Amino acid sequence: MITAVVYSESGGTYKTTMTANLAVALHRMGLKTLVLDLDPQEGNLTSLFEAGGRRSDPDADNLVKHILDMPDGSFDDLVETTAEGVDIVPSHDMLGDFTSNLEQKISYETGMQNMSREEYPRFELLYDLLWETEGVQEEYDAVLIDPNARAEDLLYNAIFALRTLVAPVKPAGKGNLSLDGLGELVGNMERQLDIEVGLSCVVPSGVGQTNAHQQYREQFENTPEFATPVSIGNRESLMDAMWEARGSAFKVVEERWKTFERDGEMVSEPGQRRVRDREIETLRKLYALAYFIATETFDADVDPLLDVTVDGETRRIDLRETREVTTA
């Protein structure tokens, strides 16, 4: 079972795009993959994948009701299958009120059971739901979570349930290696909850061509403190098109989505993009990242071949070869 929370201390470090790309890469490796979207805000994984049609309907059954053990239906009915084959439990507005709903539940249950509030296992609820109540491990090979880093209760539930982190980082300012916040979080979690939390890898993302950015990338790649299997360049045009294609970077490239101006208006359409080699290289890196997590962190046996088909021409990427891309 492959499980990872895509975590970052700061906002806008490309967590959501990274989660979508990792999930699709894992799926293309032959793994049945589920993603949980714990972020109720706009621009979340749910909107990227065009899921969660009832996310603003307070009466709709949703993940919060299941985490709090008050479901209105079956867990399977929450799951939607995206166009690229990845399954998603979509976000819901109720995630924004998670803590107050949780506090009510804790008051009620501790009152009934003569238990102190501190004893209540508030961070273990998602773990219980996924692995004990629903047996998600029977149906899926991989589970990823895009959490809401600002909501401690949900973030802790995510980490307690999945135990492993993948951390995208973005070069900022002078860019230094400080991942103190991450180390602190992991340490706190481990002490407080008496569990082990692993950092699978760090992924420098949005790395530009400037000296400062390149130095930042090298620092990360050369540190022995954590694994940095790949760095993702500044790929704004490719990644932004994901939000129009409603899917992964693999979809953008294969369907050739592009955003452009037509008669004074911005439009996005498939079949328009001129796919550049560096974009195929970015797909190779995303696939290599998923491969690293699957094989190095979790010891899974997965397919190292990625076929990317653009305009009827298939390019085969073999991660076991140093040669970057070949034409199949």
Q: Return the residues of window 205-234 that contact ligand ATP according to CB under 6 A.
A: 205-206, 232, 234
Among 97, 236, 296, 324, binds ligand ATP (CB under 6 A): 236
Q: Judged by CB, which is closer to ligand ATP: 2, or 169?
A: 169
Stretch binding Mg ion (CB under 5 A), from 8-16, 94-102, 171-179, 236-244: 8-16
State how far the Cα of 25 lies from the Cα of 107, in Å rounded to an integer.
42
Say which entry of Mg ion, ligand ATP, none residue 235 contacts (CB below 5 to 8 A, set by partner kind): ligand ATP
Among 1, 12, 184, 192, binds ligand ATP (CB under 6 A): 12
Q: Judged by CB, which is closer to ligand ATP: 54, or 278?
A: 278
Among 3, 8, 13, 16, binds Mg ion (CB under 5 A): 16
Neighbours of 151 (CB within 10 A): 18
State how far the Cα of 201 lies from the Cα of 285, in Å rounded to an integer.
14
**C-alpha R_g of the chain:** 20
How big, in percent rounded to 5, are the helix, strand and coil portions of the chain?
Answer: 40, 20, 40
Say which entry of Mg ion, ligand ATP, none residue 11 contacts (CB below 5 to 8 A, set by partner kind): ligand ATP
Which residue in the shown chain puts its C-beta closest to Mg ion? 16
Name the 3-class secondary structure at 40.
coil
Stretch binding Mg ion (CB under 5 A), from 14-22, 201-209, 214-222, 260-268: 14-22
Q: Judged by CB, which is closer to ligand ATP: 93, or 134?
A: 93
Residue 200, judged by CB atoms within 10 A of its CB (0-12, 13-18, 19+), counts as: buried
Q: Please say whether the beta carbons of 167 and 205 come within 8 A.
A: no
| Strand extents, DSSP E, 75-212 | 80-81, 87-89, 142-146, 164-169, 198-207
Interface size with ligand ATP, residues (CB under 6 A): 17
Query: SS in 3 state form for 264-324?
Result: CEEEEECCCCCCCHHHHHHHHHHHHHHHHHHHHHCCCCCCCEEEEEECCEEEEEECCCCCC
Of 176, 204, 200, which is closest to residue 186 (Cα–Cα)? 200
Say which entry of Mg ion, ligand ATP, none residue 239 contacts (CB below 5 to 8 A, set by partner kind): ligand ATP
Binding characters for ligand ATP, 32-71, by CB under 6 A (x = yes): -------x---x----------------------------
Binding site for ligand ATP (CB under 6 A): 11-17, 39, 43, 205-206, 232, 234-236, 239-240
